[in-house]
Amino acid sequence: MTKTLTRALTVLLLVGLAGCYTVPETGRSAFVLPLGDEVADGELAFTEIKSKEKIATDPIVNKRVQRVGQRIAAAVGADLPTARWEFVVFDEPDTINAFALPGGKVGVYSGLLDLVASDDELAIVMGHEIAHVTARHGAERMSEGVAAAMLGVAVDVYAKDSRNHDLVLAAYGIGASGAMLKFSRNNESEADYIGIRYAAKAGYDPRAAITFWQKMEKESKGSKVPAFLSTHPSNERRISDLQTAMPQALPLYEAAKANHK
């Protein structure tokens, strides 16, 4: 092993030991490096989105999103201590989506509001998106990218000393790609789990996650890619995992219902 490779791997190990974050609700130890000000970046990105997207003016849909959002924000509580919550509806009837950014910035597209049948289903989606933020999935993916780049340099140094330079690099590329895809699917599954807990703690029925993803399955109209090549779990896998998690989420819902009659 060359000195350059040894140094690269040593730095990578030290970086890994330094970048640990405990994900709320699951307790998982995540690899997150201090790469910048997530809250400031999130607020800046949200301001830019609001300047480009059409913001809905319908008081009924705005009140609905504010109502659900504020209840989930209260349930999130200390899991996002830096939050300056803001909930905005974007007038895009053809867009069935929502998102959340660091700092408690949440966007909901009107197309999603046309699909969800109840506040319970809306809470499931908003809880899922906010869970990505409290779990710091964006920062984790960036950190993984930095680590992958460092490892790539180390592998390249090793490969140059090998007779199979191209083969080694190709194997590394395939392996890294597969790892990142799995990493993203795991993020989605974790956000599903955390999201139904937030919704349940806010007094919304977590079983609405099942009906929502059944609808999304119909919306997909059979357009699928193999699960091992997807950045998201299949809808069938999602539904199965959510059903497995219900015994843990339902007691939270039952405990919270009395406070939200």
What is the chain's percent helix, strand, coil content, to nearest 5? 70, 10, 25
Q: Is 166 exposed, middle or buried (0-12, 13-18, 19+ CB in 10 A)?
A: exposed
In the chain, the amino acid numbered 237 is: R
Dihedral sign of CA atoms 139, 144, 150, 156 in order: negative
Question: Hey, which residues are catalytic here?
Answer: 129
Joined together, the tokens standing for residue 133 give 């933020």
Q: Which two tokens stand for residue 55?
A: 């913001």
Amino acid found at 202:
A
Q: Which residues contact 230 (CB under 8 A, 6 or more apart)?
A: 181, 185
**Is the distance from CB of 87 to CB of 109 less than 8 angstroms?**
no
Residue for token pair 């999935």: 137
**How crowded is residue 226: how many other Cβ atoms within 10 Å of its Cβ?**
7
> Which residue(s) pair with 55 in the sheet?
90
